[in-house]
Chains A and B, each alone.
Chain A
Amino acid sequence: MTTDVTTTSESVSTKKATRDIYLPPERKKVTGGGNPHIVAKNFSIYYGDFEAVKKVSADIFSKYVTAIIGPSGCGKSTFLRAINRMNDLIPSCHTSGSLLFDGEDIYGKYTDEVLLRKKVGMVFQKPNPFPKSIFDNIAYGPRLHGMSDKKKLLEIVERSLRKAAIWDEVCDRLDKNALGLSGGQQQRLCVARTLAVEPEVLLLDEPTSALDPKATAKIEDLIQELRGSYTIMIVTHNMQQASRVSDSTMFFYEGVLVEHASTAQLFTNPKDPMTEDYITGRFS
């Protein structure tokens, strides 16, 4: 899309030009998706007295990719980590409001967080394979959940590695230590490891921030592959990445969910001036 500089004011034209690079690509429709999978209602997260996420209400639709963007320290990672209760590791962290997964309160009194984490897998910012063989890394989850049949394990390992588009690269060295892989391969291995426990939701916490552009592209392709099979949430600093991979985008600022809309709309026609300022690079 070209802009006529002579007929529009300068500021508007630069804004529009900046927005245009975020125009999401055309995507095929997802079948059987689109139901609210994770629902937040007035959900707040506190670190001690500090309110890191403030009264967020949002519906995350199943089988679609939802991106979370926002400046550093805006609470986007905190929100993501609340969904599979990884924040439990921080003793001072507590919540209010409700966060429902499949209609059940994640922070409910009788919720088994171990069972929840099995259904809501997570991939972290830095690739974190265990210092074990590639096979043992993938088989870790299934073994944990009682699978010990060697043949079935091998099946799961192969399927997971194929889904994560890394099978061809590692199929001849499954017994080698996973730390010998490159950063990008390690990250895809971590995705495969998460997929091996057959989760419903995949949380990606800045999965490409430690990777080079080539590895990043592979991870993004992988997200496209997985779209339609899993509910995916991705936290990212890279707005182009958000526009490339996601169907809807949430914009957080200082713990507040400023805007949540379809990616096309949020990047081309944001409702909130703050969103507009952020995506056009006024602040970061």
Chain B
Amino acid sequence: MNIGTRKILDRSFTAVGIGSIITMALALMVVVVPISWNGVGAVFFTGTVEHRKMLYAEFNRGDSQDLSSEVASSERYRSKVYELLSTFEAELETMAPDKKMEYTSKYSQVKIALQALLGPPPGDTAPMLTRFKYGQTRWEKAEERLHELLYESKWDNSNPEIMGKEYFVSRAVAFEGTSLAALFPYVKYNIEKMLLPEFTFYWGFITDSSVDSHFFGGIWPEIKGTFFLALGAMLFAFPLGVIAAVYFTEYAKPGFLNSTLRSANSTLAGVPSIVFGMFGLAFFINTLKVSESKSVIAGSLTLAIMILPTIIRAAEEAILSVPKTYREASLSLGSTKWNTIPTVILPAALPGILTGGVISLGRAAGETAPIIFTAAVSVGSAIGLADVFSSPTPALSWNIYNLASEHEAAAQIRHVQYGMVLALLTIVLLLNLSAIVLRARISKKLKG
């Protein structure tokens, strides 16, 4: 190959390499930036007076005097709305029966939309579910609700060839000529005075329990559960994995049994995580009965089994990469194999072992499938150390899935889901970052 071709090949390879890295970085950005943006929205957002009411009532947080003056000022503007409503209700009674029927159904839609926006009207019995006790707590949601109040959504199905199209009809026009027509422009122009939006830093999103299955409140139980599950998994898997790796590298005699064990270990690393989940349910809960039902300990054990192969492989690699000369030096000083392993081999292999461990910790924190049947519940309180043997726990990974697919009001609380995703990403990133820092520090210490 002549020098020209070689250079062209080198350069084109460099270009392809850089191109693929840029593509991957862009793809990552496409995923991470919206998640981060929306996730941050769970903590920093424009909150309404309803949010502050909710905080005071549910978490006893906020200044009661400020709140009552705010509520009083918003009530002044809201009272006009309820006046208009009662006027229209009286008017409804005087209408001809067919007209009355038409307006009654339309009016009930208006009342529902208004209740979603401002909360239950004064004098109503308090609703059972907390989510109906308050109006819109977030300003961007309030704007959506306002649109629902002002315009009726209808579907144009005239052309059967294509999908129906949504179009909007102004309710102000629909109520033209009645006393309610004045309500729509009034609400539209006074909505800010009724909801008092202001910039909110809701740090409680990290430290609060959820209220009414994540409708309000934070994700502390999920964060705590994730930590318990992941750390519990490490507690079982890390020592076992390192011991197994030491056995494989130092003690096992090459042979059929050894190679079978090794390939079994490799196969285990590739088993889908849902299989581990089923195994955990069948083995730890049904057979060993480590707990009555789902529990943190059962989930941790299942996760431990899942990450064990990775830890063993990483530790094996790390131990094998320890220079043979260290072993020779130690043995030549009259050390036994038994003594050499903890004093020379393991300290030198520590960076590699720890890296494998922390990567596995991140994986344990992020896995959903193994804990579905063994540990996770969608709503629950934050557990303490004493509960790990008996109590299941909410966890970030499972609750992200739950909010995305199974929650009945998923569309209304997307911000919570994004907040959880961001929290999980942050936890995993921090773990990996700490692994890098730890590794660098230990390596530096080893290299002198």
Contacts and interface: CB of A to CB of B under 8 A. Distances in A.
Interface residues of A, number: 29
Contacts of A145: 334
Contacts of B348: 130-131
Interface string B409-443: 00000000000000000000000000000000000
B318 to A, nearest CB: 14
Interface stretch (A3-11, A176-184, A211-219, A270-278): A176-184
Interface stretch (A17-25, A27-35, A54-62, A112-120): A112-120
A179 B448 contact: yes
A1 interface: no
A84 B448 contact: no
A193 B344 CA distance: 14
Interface stretch (A41-49, A121-129, A231-239): A121-129
Most buried by A among B323, B328, B334, B336: B334
Contacts of A128: 323, 325-326, 328-329
Contact of B445 (A84, A130, A177, A190): A177
Contacts of A190: 329
Interface string A170-188: 0000001111100000000
Interface string A242-284: 0000000000000000000000000000000000000000000
Contact of A194 (B326, B331, B332, B445): B332
B339 interface: yes
B253 to A, nearest CB: 8
Q: Which of B336, B344, B446, B448 has the most CB of A within 10 A?
A: B448
Contact of A84 (B326, B332, B344): B332
A130 B335 contact: no
Contact of A114 (B327, B335, B445, B446): B335
Interface in B309-367: 323, 325-336, 339, 343-344, 347-348
B99 interface: no
Nearest to B335: A144
A140 interface: yes
Contacts of B448: 131, 176-180
Contacts of A176: 448
Contacts of B336: 114
A131 B349 CA distance: 11
A117 B447 contact: no
Nearest to A122: B332
A100 B179 CA distance: 118
A203 to B, nearest CB: 8
Contacts of B326: 128, 130-131
A194 B328 contact: no
Interface residues of B, number: 22
B378 to A, nearest CB: 49
Interface string B374-386: 0000000000000
A121 B446 contact: no
Nearest to A196: B333
Given A128-B323, A130-B326, A141 B334 contact: yes
A147 interface: no
B328 A118 contact: no
Nearest to A125: B325
A154 interface: no
A193 B328 CA distance: 13
B334 A115 contact: yes
A59 to B, nearest CB: 23
A117 B335 CA distance: 8
Interface string A74-109: 000000000010100100000000000000000000
B328 A89 contact: yes
A130 B333 CA distance: 12
Nearest to A88: B331
A195 B339 CA distance: 20
Interface in A133-156: 140-141, 144-145
A52 interface: no
Nearest to B448: A177
Nearest to A133: B448
Contacts of A124: 325, 328-329, 332
16 contacts: A89-B331, A114-B335, A114-B336, A115-B334, A117-B332, A117-B334, A118-B334, A121-B333, A122-B328, A128-B329, A129-B329, A131-B447, A140-B333, A141-B334, A177-B448, A178-B448
Interface of A: 84, 86, 89, 114-115, 117-118, 121-122, 124, 126, 128-132, 140-141, 144-145, 176-180, 190, 193-194, 197
Given A140-B333, A144-B335, A179-B448, 17 more contacts: A114-B336, A122-B328, A122-B332, A124-B329, A128-B323, A128-B325, A128-B326, A130-B326, A130-B329, A130-B344, A130-B348, A131-B326, A131-B347, A193-B333, A194-B333, A197-B333, A197-B334
Top 10 A-B pairs, shortest CB-CB distance: A177-B448, A118-B334, A128-B325, A179-B448, A180-B448, A131-B446, A122-B332, A141-B333, A117-B334, A128-B329
